[in-house]
Protein backbone atom coordinates (compact mmCIF):
# COMPACT_ATOMS: atom_id res chain seq x y z
CA UNK A 1 0.00 0.00 0.00
CA UNK A 2 2.64 2.52 1.07
CA UNK A 3 5.81 0.60 0.38
CA UNK A 4 5.41 0.74 -3.38
CA UNK A 5 4.96 4.51 -3.24
CA UNK A 6 8.07 4.91 -1.06
CA UNK A 7 10.17 2.62 -3.23
CA UNK A 8 9.00 4.37 -6.42
CA UNK A 9 10.02 7.72 -4.96
CA UNK A 10 13.40 6.32 -3.87
CA UNK A 11 14.00 4.70 -7.26
CA UNK A 12 13.20 7.99 -8.97
CA UNK A 13 15.57 9.88 -6.67
CA UNK A 14 18.26 7.25 -7.31
CA UNK A 15 17.83 7.53 -11.09
CA UNK A 16 18.14 11.32 -10.91
CA UNK A 17 21.20 11.23 -8.69
CA UNK A 18 24.31 12.75 -10.24
CA UNK A 19 27.17 10.31 -10.32
CA UNK A 20 30.46 11.81 -9.21
CA UNK A 21 33.70 10.88 -10.95
CA UNK A 22 35.91 12.30 -8.27
CA UNK A 23 38.34 10.55 -5.99
CA UNK A 24 37.59 11.23 -2.36
CA UNK A 25 38.57 9.82 1.01
CA UNK A 26 35.53 7.51 0.95
CA UNK A 27 36.47 5.70 -2.25
CA UNK A 28 40.26 5.94 -2.52
CA UNK A 29 40.72 2.55 -0.86
CA UNK A 30 38.17 0.74 -3.00
CA UNK A 31 39.09 -1.74 -5.75
CA UNK A 32 41.53 0.26 -7.89
CA UNK A 33 39.86 -0.92 -11.10
CA UNK A 34 36.52 0.29 -9.81
CA UNK A 35 38.14 3.63 -9.03
CA UNK A 36 39.44 3.73 -12.61
CA UNK A 37 35.88 3.27 -13.97
CA UNK A 38 34.66 6.02 -11.63
CA UNK A 39 37.39 8.48 -12.62
CA UNK A 40 36.85 7.77 -16.32
CA UNK A 41 33.16 8.59 -16.13
CA UNK A 42 31.65 5.12 -16.56
CA UNK A 43 28.07 5.07 -15.35
CA UNK A 44 27.78 1.39 -14.46
CA UNK A 45 24.56 -0.11 -13.19
CA UNK A 46 22.16 2.58 -11.94
CA UNK A 47 21.79 2.92 -8.21
CA UNK A 48 18.69 1.33 -6.72
CA UNK A 49 16.31 3.18 -4.46
CA UNK A 50 17.08 0.79 -1.64
CA UNK A 51 20.76 1.82 -1.79
CA UNK A 52 19.65 5.40 -1.21
CA UNK A 53 17.75 4.23 1.85
CA UNK A 54 20.95 2.56 3.12
CA UNK A 55 22.93 5.81 2.63
CA UNK A 56 20.18 7.73 4.35
CA UNK A 57 20.30 5.44 7.37
CA UNK A 58 24.08 5.90 7.52
CA UNK A 59 23.61 9.70 7.59
CA UNK A 60 21.05 9.42 10.35
CA UNK A 61 23.38 7.24 12.40
CA UNK A 62 26.07 9.92 12.02
CA UNK A 63 23.66 12.58 13.24
CA UNK A 64 22.72 10.38 16.19
CA UNK A 65 26.35 9.82 17.21
CA UNK A 66 27.07 13.54 16.97
CA UNK A 67 24.07 14.21 19.21
CA UNK A 68 25.26 11.53 21.68
CA UNK A 69 28.69 13.17 21.78
CA UNK A 70 27.13 16.52 22.58
CA UNK A 71 24.97 14.92 25.23
CA UNK A 72 28.09 13.34 26.72
CA UNK A 73 29.78 16.77 26.65
CA UNK A 74 32.81 15.47 24.79
CA UNK A 75 35.09 18.46 24.29
CA UNK A 76 35.97 20.13 20.98
CA UNK A 77 33.60 18.22 18.77
CA UNK A 78 33.22 19.80 15.39
CA UNK A 79 30.59 18.43 13.07
CA UNK A 80 31.68 17.98 9.46
CA UNK A 81 30.79 20.97 7.34
CA UNK A 82 31.88 21.85 3.85
CA UNK A 83 33.80 24.92 5.06
CA UNK A 84 35.93 22.62 7.25
CA UNK A 85 37.09 20.60 4.24
CA UNK A 86 40.82 20.54 3.50
CA UNK A 87 42.37 20.22 0.04
CA UNK A 88 44.53 17.12 -0.40
CA UNK A 89 46.89 17.55 -3.31
CA UNK A 90 47.48 13.81 -3.74
CA UNK A 91 43.74 13.27 -4.29
CA UNK A 92 43.07 16.51 -6.15
CA UNK A 93 40.09 17.32 -3.95
CA UNK A 94 38.83 18.47 -0.57
CA UNK A 95 37.99 16.08 2.25
CA UNK A 96 36.32 16.41 5.62
CA UNK A 97 35.93 13.81 8.39
CA UNK A 98 32.78 13.41 10.43
CA UNK A 99 34.33 15.14 13.42
CA UNK A 100 37.52 16.17 15.20
CA UNK A 101 38.20 16.06 18.91
CA UNK A 102 41.04 16.58 21.34
CA UNK A 103 42.58 14.34 23.98
CA UNK A 104 45.38 15.80 26.14
CA UNK A 105 46.12 18.40 23.48
CA UNK A 106 46.20 15.85 20.63
CA UNK A 107 43.72 16.35 17.81
CA UNK A 108 42.17 13.14 16.50
CA UNK A 109 39.96 12.75 13.42
CA UNK A 110 36.74 10.82 13.91
CA UNK A 111 34.77 8.77 11.43
CA UNK A 112 31.42 7.10 12.10
CA UNK A 113 30.38 3.89 10.37
CA UNK A 114 27.13 2.00 10.73
CA UNK A 115 27.73 -1.73 10.40
CA UNK A 116 26.04 -5.09 10.08
CA UNK A 117 26.40 -7.69 12.85
CA UNK A 118 29.20 -9.35 10.90
CA UNK A 119 31.26 -6.20 10.25
CA UNK A 120 30.69 -5.01 13.82
CA UNK A 121 31.97 -8.28 15.28
CA UNK A 122 35.11 -7.81 13.20
CA UNK A 123 35.43 -4.18 14.31
CA UNK A 124 35.24 -5.26 17.95
CA UNK A 125 38.31 -7.39 17.27
CA UNK A 126 40.02 -4.34 15.74
CA UNK A 127 39.62 -5.79 12.24
CA UNK A 128 38.50 -2.94 9.99
CA UNK A 129 37.78 -2.96 6.29
CA UNK A 130 40.77 -1.58 4.39
CA UNK A 131 38.57 0.94 2.59
CA UNK A 132 37.64 2.52 5.92
CA UNK A 133 41.28 2.53 7.06
CA UNK A 134 42.26 4.33 3.86
CA UNK A 135 39.51 6.87 4.43
CA UNK A 136 40.76 7.63 7.95
CA UNK A 137 44.36 7.74 6.66
CA UNK A 138 43.40 10.48 4.19
CA UNK A 139 41.76 12.50 6.98
CA UNK A 140 44.84 12.11 9.17
CA UNK A 141 47.06 13.39 6.37
CA UNK A 142 44.67 16.24 5.54
CA UNK A 143 44.31 17.42 9.12
CA UNK A 144 47.86 16.65 10.24
CA UNK A 145 46.87 14.22 12.99
CA UNK A 146 48.71 11.08 14.04
CA UNK A 147 45.61 9.12 14.94
CA UNK A 148 42.04 8.64 13.87
CA UNK A 149 39.13 7.07 15.69
CA UNK A 150 36.59 4.92 13.93
CA UNK A 151 33.28 4.73 15.77
CA UNK A 152 31.25 1.68 14.76
CA UNK A 153 27.50 1.53 15.26
CA UNK A 154 25.82 -1.86 15.07
CA UNK A 155 22.64 -1.35 13.10
CA UNK A 156 20.77 -4.35 14.52
CA UNK A 157 21.27 -3.58 18.22
CA UNK A 158 22.68 -0.02 18.52
CA UNK A 159 25.85 -1.26 20.21
CA UNK A 160 28.90 0.98 19.82
CA UNK A 161 32.58 0.16 19.44
CA UNK A 162 35.65 2.24 18.67
CA UNK A 163 38.94 1.49 16.98
CA UNK A 164 41.99 3.76 17.08
CA UNK A 165 43.78 3.95 13.76
CA UNK A 166 47.44 4.97 13.64
CA UNK A 167 49.00 6.79 10.72
CA UNK A 168 50.65 4.28 8.42
CA UNK A 169 53.17 5.33 5.75
CA UNK A 170 52.79 2.08 3.79
CA UNK A 171 49.01 2.62 3.63
CA UNK A 172 49.51 6.19 2.44
CA UNK A 173 51.90 5.04 -0.30
CA UNK A 174 49.30 2.47 -1.38
CA UNK A 175 46.65 5.20 -1.55
CA UNK A 176 48.86 7.36 -3.75
CA UNK A 177 49.60 4.39 -6.00
CA UNK A 178 45.84 3.72 -6.28
CA UNK A 179 45.23 7.31 -7.36
CA UNK A 180 47.97 7.10 -10.00
CA UNK A 181 46.54 3.84 -11.40
CA UNK A 182 42.98 5.18 -11.35
CA UNK A 183 44.02 8.25 -13.35
CA UNK A 184 46.05 6.30 -15.94
CA UNK A 185 44.78 5.81 -19.51
CA UNK A 186 44.41 2.05 -19.29
CA UNK A 187 42.49 0.21 -16.58
CA UNK A 188 44.51 -1.65 -13.95
CA UNK A 189 44.29 -5.44 -13.73
CA UNK A 190 41.44 -6.87 -11.70
CA UNK A 191 42.65 -7.41 -8.14
CA UNK A 192 40.26 -10.39 -7.82
CA UNK A 193 40.09 -13.74 -9.56
CA UNK A 194 37.13 -15.65 -10.92
CA UNK A 195 35.83 -18.29 -8.53
CA UNK A 196 36.06 -21.61 -10.34
CA UNK A 197 36.68 -24.21 -7.65
CA UNK A 198 33.90 -25.90 -5.69
CA UNK A 199 33.92 -24.14 -2.30
CA UNK A 200 32.93 -27.20 -0.27
CA UNK A 201 35.68 -29.56 -1.42
CA UNK A 202 38.25 -26.83 -2.14
CA UNK A 203 38.50 -27.93 -5.78
CA UNK A 204 39.64 -31.50 -5.06
CA UNK A 205 36.36 -33.06 -6.23
CA UNK A 206 36.61 -35.51 -3.31
CA UNK A 207 35.01 -35.85 0.11
CA UNK A 208 37.56 -35.15 2.86
CA UNK A 209 37.11 -38.36 4.90
CA UNK A 210 36.64 -41.13 2.37
CA UNK A 211 37.95 -39.52 -0.78
CA UNK A 212 34.75 -40.30 -2.68
CA UNK A 213 33.53 -38.16 -5.55
CA UNK A 214 32.03 -34.98 -4.07
CA UNK A 215 28.34 -34.97 -4.93
CA UNK A 216 27.81 -31.19 -5.08
CA UNK A 217 30.28 -30.82 -7.94
CA UNK A 218 29.95 -34.32 -9.41
CA UNK A 219 33.57 -34.95 -8.52
CA UNK A 220 34.75 -32.27 -10.94
CA UNK A 221 36.05 -29.90 -8.24
CA UNK A 222 34.46 -27.04 -10.20
CA UNK A 223 31.49 -24.89 -9.23
CA UNK A 224 28.70 -26.51 -11.27
CA UNK A 225 26.90 -23.21 -11.82
CA UNK A 226 30.15 -21.26 -12.40
CA UNK A 227 32.52 -19.74 -13.08
CA UNK A 228 31.32 -16.89 -10.92
CA UNK A 229 32.76 -13.49 -10.08
CA UNK A 230 33.76 -13.06 -6.41
CA UNK A 231 30.62 -12.54 -4.35
CA UNK A 232 32.34 -9.65 -2.60
CA UNK A 233 33.21 -7.07 -3.70
CA UNK A 234 32.53 -7.77 -7.39
CA UNK A 235 28.96 -9.04 -6.88
CA UNK A 236 28.08 -5.65 -5.39
CA UNK A 237 30.06 -3.54 -7.86
CA UNK A 238 28.12 -1.37 -10.31
CA UNK A 239 30.83 -1.89 -12.95
CA UNK A 240 30.79 -5.70 -12.83
CA UNK A 241 29.58 -6.06 -16.45
CA UNK A 242 32.09 -3.52 -17.82
CA UNK A 243 34.75 -5.33 -15.84
CA UNK A 244 33.97 -9.01 -16.43
CA UNK A 245 31.74 -9.04 -19.54
CA UNK A 246 28.28 -10.63 -19.88
CA UNK A 247 26.92 -11.97 -16.59
CA UNK A 248 23.75 -13.57 -15.34
CA UNK A 249 22.53 -13.85 -11.79
CA UNK A 250 22.04 -17.36 -10.37
CA UNK A 251 21.38 -18.61 -6.87
CA UNK A 252 24.07 -20.63 -5.11
CA UNK A 253 23.00 -23.72 -3.09
CA UNK A 254 22.65 -21.52 0.00
CA UNK A 255 20.15 -19.31 -1.84
CA UNK A 256 22.54 -16.39 -2.23
CA UNK A 257 22.66 -14.48 -5.51
CA UNK A 258 25.92 -14.85 -7.41
CA UNK A 259 26.98 -13.66 -10.86
CA UNK A 260 27.95 -16.23 -13.46
CA UNK A 261 29.96 -15.48 -16.56
CA UNK A 262 28.07 -16.14 -19.76
CA UNK A 263 29.21 -16.11 -23.37
CA UNK A 264 32.90 -16.07 -24.23
CA UNK A 265 34.09 -15.36 -20.69
CA UNK A 266 32.47 -18.54 -19.37
CA UNK A 267 34.15 -20.72 -21.97
CA UNK A 268 37.59 -19.19 -21.40
S1 LIG B 1 33.83 -6.02 -10.63
FE2 LIG B 1 35.35 -6.44 -9.03
S3 LIG B 1 37.38 -6.26 -10.02
FE4 LIG B 1 35.84 -5.29 -11.36
S5 LIG B 1 35.86 -3.14 -10.83
FE6 LIG B 1 34.25 -4.06 -9.61
S7 LIG B 1 35.20 -4.67 -7.67
FE8 LIG B 1 36.86 -4.25 -9.13
ZN1 LIG C 1 33.20 -30.26 -4.83
Q: Can you give the pLDDT at residue 92? A: 92
Ligand closest to 203 (CA) is 2
Among 111, 100, 102, 101, CA closest to 137: 111
Mean pLDDT of the chain: 92
CA distance to 26, 46, 50, per residue, from 16 (Å): 21, 10, 14
Tell me the CA–centroid distance for residue 238 and ligand 1, in Å.
8
Q: Which of 30, 236, 243, 258 to mutate to test the pocket of ligand 1 (most atoms within 8 A of CB)?
A: 243
Tell me the CA–centroid distance for residue 30 and ligand 1, in Å.
9
Tell me the CA–centroid distance for residue 90 and ligand 1, in Å.
23
CA distance to 16, 22, 53, 105, 131, per residue, from 13 (Å): 5, 21, 10, 44, 26
Ligand closest to 207 (CA) is 2
DSSP characters over 156-187: TT--EEEEEEE--HHHHHHHHHHHHHHHSSSP
Whether residue 171 has its Cβ less than 6 Å from ligand 1: no
Cut 0.85: pTM above it: yes
Tens digits of residue pLDDT in 82-95:
778 899 999 999 99
Q: What confidence category does residue 81 fall into, taking pLDDT thresholds of 50, 70 and 90? A: low
Structural domains for the chain? 3-183 (3.90.320.10), 192-268 (no CATH)
The Cα–Cα gap between 239 and 245 comes to 10
Tens digits of residue pLDDT in 108-161:
999 999 999 999 999 999 999 999 999 999 999 999 999 999 999 999 999 999
Tell me the CA–centroid distance for residue 86 and ligand 1, in Å.
29
User: Could you tell me where the DSSP H helices lie in the chain?
Assistant: 3-16, 32-39, 49-71, 117-124, 130-143, 169-183, 240-244, 263-267
Answer whether residue 210 shows pLDDT above 80: yes
Atom of ligand 1 nearest to the CA of 191: 3
Q: What confidence category does residue 264 fall into, taking pLDDT thresholds of 50, 70 and 90? A: low
Q: Can you give the pLDDT at residue 268? A: 47
Percent of residues, the chain, with pLDDT higher than 70: 96
Nearest CA to ligand 1 atom 2: 234
User: Which DSSP symbol is given to 28?
Assistant: T
Tens digits of residue pLDDT in 217-249:
999 999 988 899 999 999 999 999 999 999 999
Answer whether residue 265 shows pLDDT above 70: no
Answer whether residue 49 shows pLDDT above 60: yes
Q: Can you give the pLDDT at residue 33? A: 98
Answer whether residue 102 shows pLDDT above 70: yes
Tell me the CA–centroid distance for residue 224 and ligand 2, in Å.
9
Neighbours of ion ligand 2 (CB under 5 A): 198, 201, 214, 217
Amino acid sequence: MLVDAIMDALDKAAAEREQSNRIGAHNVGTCVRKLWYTVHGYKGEPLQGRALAVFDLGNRVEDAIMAFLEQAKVAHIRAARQQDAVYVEELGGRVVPDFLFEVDGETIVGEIKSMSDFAFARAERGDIDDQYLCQVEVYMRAFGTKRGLLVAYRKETSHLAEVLVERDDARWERIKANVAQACADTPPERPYKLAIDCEDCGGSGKTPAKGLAHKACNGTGRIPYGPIIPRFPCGYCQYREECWGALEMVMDPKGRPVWRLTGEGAAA
